[in-house]
A and B are shown apart, each in its own frame.
Chain A
Amino acid sequence: GAVVSQHPSWVICKSGTSVKIECRSLDFQATTMFWYRQFPKQSLMLMATSNEGSKATYEQGVEKDKFLINHASLTLSTLTVTSAHPEDSSFYICSAGPRDRTYEQYFGPGTRLTVT
């Protein structure tokens, strides 16, 4: 199967600072990657679609100025949480899928963000 990595695995930051999370497809190219958020004991919610070479598209209710997405290459997308607040504490997970196969998505291991 395809492999997706994320970095860092976990991060603690102070309120008001910014945090960058990286998502990489290790053995395939991905023109599209997806970012999800999962609160404790809840399901995953799609936040945004990251498109290589163009602007990201955000789901309703997700602040695009707060969650900056950059898809600079066919193997890397980054999510920057700007001016983080405690309510942004969550588990952030990315996914991607090889476009030469089916529409199957593979997920990174996730990044646990805690804002103090």
Chain B
Amino acid sequence: GIQVEQSPPDLILQEGANSTLRCNFSDSVNNLQWFHQNPWGQLINLFYIPSGTKQNGRLSATTVATERYSLLYISSSQTTDSGVYFCAVERGGGADGLTFGKGTHLIIQP
């Protein structure tokens, strides 16, 4: 099956700093999503981005499908950004389910 690797596994930053999270995947995909898992376990949809670039406030993401990687950028970090960020992909057309990376555990210190 498809492999998804996220880096770094852990990241500790001061409030106000910028960060870049990376997701590499081993095969072509029709779906790539970034999620933030909050302390209660809820997965919050950040981006649906199988290709191209998107921005939403302080967050932006870029996927270069031909090179099989995606980047999530967080600018001007806030303590509420802390948590686990997951990248997940799907090869098929919505019928295969998502394959998740192991996540990046982000801690923003005040």
Q: Judge: A and B partners, yes or no.
A: yes
User: Which A residues are within 8 Å of any B CB, using their own CB?
Assistant: 1, 32, 34, 36, 38, 42-46, 49, 91, 93, 95, 97, 99, 102-107, 109-110, 112
28 inter-chain pairs at a CB distance below 8 angstroms, sorted by A residue, are A32-B95, A34-B97, A36-B97, A38-B41, A43-B100, A44-B43, A46-B97, A46-B98, A46-B99, A49-B95, A49-B96, A91-B41, A93-B41, A93-B43, A95-B98, A97-B94, A99-B94, A103-B30, A103-B31, A103-B48, A103-B90, A105-B90, A107-B35, A107-B42, A109-B40, A109-B41, A109-B42, A110-B41
Does the CB pair A110–B97 fall under 8 Å? no
**Inside 8 A of B90's CB, which chain A residues have their CB?**
103, 105
**Inside 8 A of A97's CB, which chain B residues have their CB?**
94
Query: Closest chain B residue to A32 by CB distance?
Result: B95
Shortest beta-carbon distance from A78 to chain B in Å = 17
Shortest beta-carbon distance from A35 to chain B in Å = 9
Query: Closest chain A residue to B90 by CB distance?
Result: A103
B68 within 8 A of A: no
**Inside 8 A of A91's CB, which chain B residues have their CB?**
41
B69 within 8 A of A: no
- Given A43-B103, A49-B95, 17 additional A-B pairs, CB 8 A: A1-B45, A34-B97, A34-B98, A44-B43, A45-B100, A91-B41, A93-B41, A93-B43, A95-B98, A103-B30, A103-B90, A103-B93, A103-B94, A105-B33, A105-B98, A107-B45, A112-B41
